[in-house]
Amino acid sequence: MAQNRYGLYPATLTYGGGTPTTLDVQQLGRVGIRANAKRDVIVPSGNVDPSAVIFASGEPEVDWETDDLATVLAVVTPTAGLNCTGGAVFQAQQRADGGTFAGGSTNVAITSKKGFCYPKRLSAKANEPGGAKLQLAYAALYDGTTSGVPALPVAPLVLAAGQALVSTPAFNARFYFGPVYLNAAAVGGVEDWDLDFGIEFKTKLLDGDLWPQVGSIISRKPKLSLTAVDGVTANAIAASLFNAPLAGALALYLRKGAAGGARVADATVGHLKLTIATGAANLESLDIQGQEDGTFKVSVEATGTIAVSTASAIP
């Protein structure tokens, strides 16, 4: 009996309408496929056991993570996401017993013909091996196609074994914790931050479809959670325990790693910069225990959109 095992492999997203363009996500850290199926389990009156199970509807989604921030954020933006008119392919590579990988058409592919991808959160921590991590979601949508006799809808996510792989694994870039600037001046003592892009993408089931064909961004509410050990920094960003206007533009830098070295020079264009131009902030908490350093938790709610530069120098 065959006992096959599979490992992670690059994914592709296709967008651009009449002139399709492929985004190769070559540095995948994690992929999670969620069917989100809703089924009716029918127990007729007088019975205690189900007599039928009927698929009612589903909203399939793929959660995935990458550290290749510049490649992905240049295309999948925190304001517009990415309308994947040509769908996406997520893959699992078959391992070889007694070797590495089986090769050929032995792999698993999960294919979508239409969908929408958007960033969920970006997290970074000082001196953290592995660098900053970007979490994203892909909502698989029904493209309206049918197959067979009688004609039945083709599911928006289709899993198939015995497939050849597309794309090629490669290292492009990794980004690490960098300085934080408030109103163009560096602030010190920041330990970590987590940026929730706050995109709410909502689908709609219509016309008796089993899966939604349409979806839209209905709100964007970006929120930054930041930890500092310096009370001056925390007070500068959040001048109130409860609510205060942001004292200027807040810029979060991520330093690009240098292969064979440590970091690319600050003056070199190629680092990542995220800017919250306006918003409100508050000091969520101050925690001090024993002989440890105190930590100031700051929360920033952005008004307007977050700007991302994938080719920035650090002052």
pLDDT score of 1: 82
Is 1 part of a structural domain of the chain? no
**DSSP letter, residue 293:** P
Count structural domains, the chain: 1
pLDDT at position 28 over 90 = yes
pLDDT tens for 193-213 read: 999 999 999 999 999 999 999
Query: Rg of the Cα trace of the chain?
Result: 23
The mean of the pLDDT values for the chain is: 97
Is 110 part of a structural domain of the chain? yes
Is 247 part of a structural domain of the chain? yes
Is 56 part of a structural domain of the chain? yes
Contact 118, 185 (CB under 8 A): no
Tokens describing residue 93: 């590579």
Is 166 part of a structural domain of the chain? yes
pLDDT score of 305: 95
Is 217 part of a structural domain of the chain? yes
Contact 73, 134 (CB under 8 A): yes
Percent of the residues in the chain that have a pLDDT greater than 90, as a whole number: 98
Is 231 part of a structural domain of the chain? yes
* Residue 80 identity (one-letter amino acid): A
pLDDT band at 127 (very low <50, low <70, confident <90, very high): confident
Contact 66, 136 (CB under 8 A): yes
Which residues have C-beta within 8 Å of that of residue 248, sequence separation ≥ 6? 182, 183, 184
Is 278 part of a structural domain of the chain? yes
pLDDT tens for 143-196 read: 999 999 999 999 999 999 999 999 999 999 999 999 999 999 999 999 999 999
pLDDT at position 17 over 80 = no
pLDDT band at 2 (very low <50, low <70, confident <90, very high): confident
Q: Helix or strand or coil: residue 71? A: helix
pLDDT tens for 61-87 read: 999 999 999 999 999 999 999 999 999
pLDDT score of 179: 98
pLDDT at position 19 over 90 = no
Which residue range(s) make up the domain with 81? 6-312
